[in-house]
């Protein structure tokens, strides 16, 4: 029998080149390390936390310094795949109060927002939302929120997992802009799935059916004011309901949704990362971070050449684009989609699993977001790989844990493919640009 090759990473210190980073991604393969999540007052409980527990939440993690429900159906009852089935076939309710709302308001709100996002804030009309990114002065991605424009002088940043409020306040320490920047008592839930529109019409009225993608609507649920957006984290049809004064009215909203959802087979589930991966939707802290440039992770379209106004990170991003176009990118890895073998990955990965060019070679990249796609009948993943191995059709090897490997200790075959992995009901900007034959990187 042939001897297993002795890799340099056998001592659990992977040799992946991360020379472009100050703080390397921790690629040690420690596997599942069961510990009990301590619930204390240092981390915030959202207004929906107790309602999630009552709905069966059995595990959680911390997101934006808030406890975040991450599982309702237990593994012995089908686990995440049961939740997935409810999402793609019926309708689901998610507690996403961890998307903390940072309001920027005042006479200079538009000018301030335009200075901190890479897209052109002046082109966002009132009562519309946009997916945006904010970068530091080196071009690294600080956050990728949904930005809601409520009026001429009021914006809400619906945050992903990094504490952006302090940074926004720091940008304006010298009061260059006449704005107020603060977190507000507004907590969202998501309603996602093919029956979401029918449920939302029952809840808010027929005008909801006319709401366009990324449109906003003011309304009431259970007598309390809400803002509704047609947005979500899935690629399925879906909405977010932003409850004002959420600390006071969380139970009323939650219970009204449960009641309205009964005819539509509503299920309370955790955010469905298996579906967002298929849609090519990124997760901050997992697929990118503050040392990642937009061009590395298919977000070049968020850095328009046409924006004349200055903004934080503009000089660095324009310089990076010039280097890329000259054939000398200022980074080692780029994000790709992979189809890969092995047994169905039906749980969250505890590590960034390693990627090699061949089964015998040393690791050169790492998987960030893997899952099994029932529609495609295969495992799929996002991964950071060297630029030279990022072309569509490139054959690679992924080192899965033995639980998923075809043979213990042996990597599985993988192929670089396009993202998103399957069409979305609500296509994102990048998908729409591709459909129009436009360059998403320009």
- Residues 52-97 pLDDT 10s: 999 999 999 999 999 999 999 999 999 999 999 999 999 999 999 9
Residues 6+ apart with CB under 8 A from 284: 141, 143, 144, 160, 161, 162
Residues 6+ apart with CB under 8 A from 325: none
Of the ranges 28-37, 39-48, 117-126, 151-160, which one carries the lowest mean pLDDT score?
Answer: 28-37
Q: What is the pLDDT of residues 294-325, one digit of tens each?
A: 999 999 999 999 999 999 999 999 999 999 99
CATH architecture entry for 282-435:
2-Layer Sandwich (3.30)
CA-based nearest residue to 399, from 344, 324, 336, 340: 340
pTM: 0.93
Q: Residue ranges of the domains in the chain? A: 186-264, 282-435
Q: For 172-245, where are the alpha helices, taking DSSP H only?
A: 196-204
Cα angle 257, 258, 263; round to 5: 100
> What angle do the packed helices 196-204 and 246-261 form, to 10 degrees?
120
pLDDT for residue 373 is more than 80: yes
Give me the percent of the chain exceeding a pLDDT of 70.
Answer: 94
**What is the pLDDT, as a whole number, of residue 435?**
55
β-bridge partners, 359: none
Residues in the chain: 442
The DSSP code sequence of 251-305 is HHHHHHHHHHHGGGTEEE----HHHHHHTT---BTTTB-TT--GGGGT-GGGS-T
**CATH of region 186-264:** 3.30.1360.120
CA-based nearest residue to 230, from 254, 260, 252, 210: 210
pLDDT category at 439 given cuts 50, 70, 90 is very low
Mean pLDDT, residues 333-339 taken together: 98
Average pLDDT across the chain, whole number: 93
**What is the pLDDT, as a whole number, of residue 5?**
44
Strands 154-158 and 101-105, sheet pairing: antiparallel
pLDDT category at 429 given cuts 50, 70, 90 is low
**What is the pLDDT, as a whole number, of residue 440?**
44
- Do 282-435 and 186-264 have the same topology in CATH? yes
As to burial, measured by CB atoms within 10 angstroms (0-12 exposed, 13-18 middle, 19+ buried), residue 328 is exposed
Mean pLDDT, residues 352-376 taken together: 96
Residue 79's SS3 state is helix
Place of tokens 């039906």: 346
């Amino acid at each position: 029998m042939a001897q297993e090759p002795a890799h340099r990473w056998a001592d659990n210190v992977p040799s992946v080149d991360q020379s472009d980073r100050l703080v390397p991604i921790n690629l040690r393969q420690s596997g599942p390390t069961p510990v009990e999540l301590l619930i204390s007052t240092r981390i915030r409980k959202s207004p929906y936390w107790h309602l999630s527990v009552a709905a069966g939440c059995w595990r959680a993690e911390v997101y934006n310094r808030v406890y975040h429900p991450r599982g309702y159906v237990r593994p012995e009852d089908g686990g995440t795949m049961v939740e997935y089935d409810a999402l793609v076939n019926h309708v689901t309710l998610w507690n996403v109060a961890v998307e903390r709302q940072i309001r920027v308001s005042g006479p200079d709100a538009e000018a301030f927002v335009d200075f901190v996002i890479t897209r052109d804030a002046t082109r966002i009309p009132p009562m519309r939302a946009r997916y945006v990114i904010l970068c530091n002065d080196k071009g690294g991605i600080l956050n990728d929120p949904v930005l809601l424009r409520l009026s001429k002088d009021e914006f809400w940043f619906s945050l992903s997992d990094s504490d952006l409020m302090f940074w926004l306040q720091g940008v304006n320490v010298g009061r260059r802009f006449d704005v107020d920047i603060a977190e507000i008592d507004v907590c969202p839930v998501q309603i996602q799935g093919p029956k979401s529109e029918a449920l939302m019409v029952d809840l808010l009225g027929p005008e909801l059916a006319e709401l366009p993608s990324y449109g906003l609507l003011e309304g009431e649920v259970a007598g309390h004011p809400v803002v509704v957006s047609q947005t979500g984290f899935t690629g399925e049809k879906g909405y977010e309901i932003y409850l004002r004064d959420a600390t006071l009215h969380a139970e009323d909203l939650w219970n009204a949704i449960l009641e309205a959802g009964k005819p539509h087979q509503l299920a309370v589930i955790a955010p469905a990362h298996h579906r967002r991966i298929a849609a090519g939707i990124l997760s901050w802290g997992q697929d990118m971070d503050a040392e990642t440039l937009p061009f590395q992770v298919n977000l070049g379209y968020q850095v328009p050449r046409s924006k004349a106004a200055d903004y934080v990170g503009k000089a660095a991003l324009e310089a990076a684009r010039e280097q890329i176009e000259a054939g000398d990118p200022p980074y080692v890895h780029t994000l790709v989609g992979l189809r890969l073998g092995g047994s169905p990955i039906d749980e969250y990965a505890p590590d960034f699993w390693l990627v090699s060019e061949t089964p015998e070679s040393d690791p050169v990249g790492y998987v960030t977001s893997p899952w099994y796609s029932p529609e495609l009948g295969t495992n799929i993943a996002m991964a950071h790989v060297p630029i030279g191995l990022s072309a569509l059709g490139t054959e690679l090897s992924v080192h899965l844990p033995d639980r998923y490997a075809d043979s213990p200790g042996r990597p599985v075959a993988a192929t670089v493919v396009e993202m998103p992995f399957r069409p979305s009901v609500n296509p994102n900007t990048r998908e729409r640009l591709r459909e129009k034959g436009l360059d998403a990187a320009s």
